[in-house]
A = this chain, B = another copy of it.
Amino acid sequence: MAADRPRTRIQEKNRRAILSAALKVFSAQGFRGATLDEIASVAGLSKPNLLYYFPSKEVIHVTLLEGLMDTWLDPLRALSADGDPKAEILSYVQRKLEMSRDLPRESRLFANEILQGAPHIGPLLSGDLKSLVDEKAALIEGWSQDGRIGPVHPHHLIFSIWALTQHYADFESQIKMVLGPAEPDPYPEAERYLTRLYERMLDPE
């Protein structure tokens, strides 16, 4: 399951261009809404040339999802038993919010995939992701029972962090339309809001 990395410079450049173009198109149109023609056009290649590098539309999609999964879960992996519990969780919230701000396309790519029932990465979710979440949930549960943070259901705490941070990327268009053109960048206020929310929520009273 390895050693299939690009060999030549051209391959590396074109694979990169294709995946970058595919990220744009898949995140904007969803899997079925995206077309190979559009991906090829955005990547600056012809469709047959695109299919010289990837055997099918589905393989491009799965390659993207799997390749981004690591990046996506890094902030949660960084949640450490060593630091101060509240600071660790607040830092996780902040990192996730930064990812929504800096990688909104990636967020929407995953959102699209999950919305459709995760047909392409189901096993990854109930495998690697579940393990990671369970591990970190146990850590949080420990903090909670030691009284270092308030009593809280650890899984739902994690869900809430995902929901609140990714919302700003996934529902960006709605947020922009509701806030109106006067407030073009919701992220600074979002950070203040979320920080306050979790500080109060996690306070051990």
Check A163 for interface membership: any CB of B closer than 8 A.
yes
Our pick among B152, B163, B173 for the contact of A114 (Cβ within 8 Å) is B173
Contacts A31-B33, A179-B155 given; indicate if A115 touches B118 (C-beta within 8 A): no
Contacts A116-B30, A193-B157, A200-B203 given; indicate if A167 touches B163 (C-beta within 8 A): yes
Task: List chain B residues, Cβ under 8 A from A53.
Answer: none
Please count how many residues in chain A sit with their CB below 8 Å of the partner chain's CB atoms: 54
Kindly specify which of A4-12, A61-69, A88-96, A123-131 makes contact with the partner chain. A123-131
Contacts A28-B116, A112-B115 given; indicate if A159 touches B175 (C-beta within 8 A): yes
Check A77 for interface membership: any CB of B closer than 8 A.
no
Among A32, A157, A174, find the residue whose CB has the most chain B CB atoms closer than 10 A: A174
Check A17 for interface membership: any CB of B closer than 8 A.
no
Task: List chain B residues, Cβ under 8 A from A179.
Answer: 155
Contact A129 B164 (CB under 8 A): no
Contacts A159-B167, A167-B159, A177-B122 given; indicate if A193 touches B114 (C-beta within 8 A): no
Q: How many copies does the complex hold?
A: 2
Check A1 for interface membership: any CB of B closer than 8 A.
no
Cα–Cα distance between A21 and B177 once the two chains are bound (Å)? 30
Cα–Cα distance between A33 and B30 once the two chains are bound (Å)? 8
> A22-35 toward B: CB 8 Å interface, digit per residue (1/0)?
00000011111100
User: Can you name 4 extra interface pairs (CB under 8 A) apart from A28-B116, A30-B112, A156-B193?
Assistant: A157-B193, A159-B168, A163-B171, A167-B167
5 A–B contacts from the bound complex (CB under 8 Å): A30-B116, A108-B115, A118-B177, A152-B193, A159-B171
